[in-house]
A = this chain, B = another copy of it.
């Protein structure tokens, strides 16, 4: 039997901690999170709605900022810089991916690390390499929270990360290989140029897939009994679904049923935990920016 690693209970526990921490300090300003995005239909819009809901539920002040249609890289950087200067804003998130010539990395790198709540700017990524993170990408934190909650083998285990993006795969690999939280995994990073995914994953007891290609992981590549944390998120056509499309991860759940030891569903796995980790990040961002005299 393949254990289904539900994200909702993990998200609920995280949200409870965040809500209680905010509620216990009414004397402090509520954490304030701003999401910056293009005002167009995109997968990010779904995430945006979830952010607003989760923020209201835990007590984070949330607002979204639309880029103007004609905004180029310079206007984007100027908007980020303005939010960085605004003392009423604790945490800033930027839509990802952005189409060229907009430059996600340059834009997020203009934020001070305490406000770069998703930990994707240069300073935060560098601090992660040095094992002194300020903020770690919420999706990486979410994948690790699920692994921890369900006791998946990480410490001292062979773990594989499929995908090498700077926003998901590499930060996750850096966390897993590091000492923090007793991770200490032996990590293999595989990607689109790996000739045989089957061979690359053969020794893995836990696999994190972060590619965004539905069906990539089936029983021909996943070793029998391995746990799969599915971080991929794609939209696939489905005439029976609302809007004609449904969310899909990298794993083929039909193929892996009865083969993988455990699997996170998509939707309902890493996704809800990511939103919860983002809210926890907004709280952390506020606490990092309290005036030095404030008790913490």
Are B184's CB and A131's CB within 8 A? no
Residues of B within 8 A of A109 (CB): 123, 126
13 interchain pairs (CB within 8 A)? A105-B132, A122-B127, A126-B127, A126-B128, A129-B166, A129-B174, A131-B166, A156-B193, A164-B178, A177-B189, A186-B191, A186-B193, A188-B189
| Chain A at the B interface: SS class | mixed
Residues of B within 8 A of A194 (CB): 156, 186
- Stretch from A15-23, A83-91, A195-203, A276-284 contacting the other chain: A195-203
Residues of B within 8 A of A188 (CB): 186-189
A190 in contact (CB, < 8 A): yes
A122 to chain B: closest residue by CB = B126
A156 to chain B: closest residue by CB = B195
CB distance from A233 to the nearest CB of B (A): 21
Q: A122-B130, A203-B203 are in contact. List 16 more A-B contacts (CB 8 A).
A: A109-B126, A122-B123, A125-B126, A125-B129, A126-B126, A126-B129, A129-B166, A155-B193, A156-B193, A164-B177, A170-B177, A179-B193, A184-B193, A186-B188, A186-B200, A202-B203
- Within 8 Å by CB of A199, from B105, B173, B193, B203, lies B203
A4 to B132 CA separation, bound complex (whole angstroms): 38
A171 in contact (CB, < 8 A): yes
A191 to B200 CA separation, bound complex (whole angstroms): 18
Are B189's CB and A173's CB within 8 A? yes
Most buried by B among A123, A128, A178, A188: A188
Are B195's CB and A191's CB within 8 A? no
A192 to chain B: closest residue by CB = B184
A121 in contact (CB, < 8 A): yes
A63 in contact (CB, < 8 A): no
Are B178's CB and A130's CB within 8 A? no
**Chain A residues within 8 Å of chain B by Cβ, number:** 40
Residues of B within 8 A of A166 (CB): 129-131
Residues of B within 8 A of A206 (CB): none
A158 in contact (CB, < 8 A): yes
CB distance from A221 to the nearest CB of B (A): 13
A209 in contact (CB, < 8 A): no
A124 in contact (CB, < 8 A): yes
Residues of B within 8 A of A122 (CB): 122-123, 126-127, 130
Residues of B within 8 A of A129 (CB): 125-126, 128-129, 166, 170-171, 174
A217 to B95 CA separation, bound complex (whole angstroms): 45
Q: C-beta contact mask, A149-187 vs B, less than 8 Å → 1, else 0?
A: 000000110100000101000110110011100001011
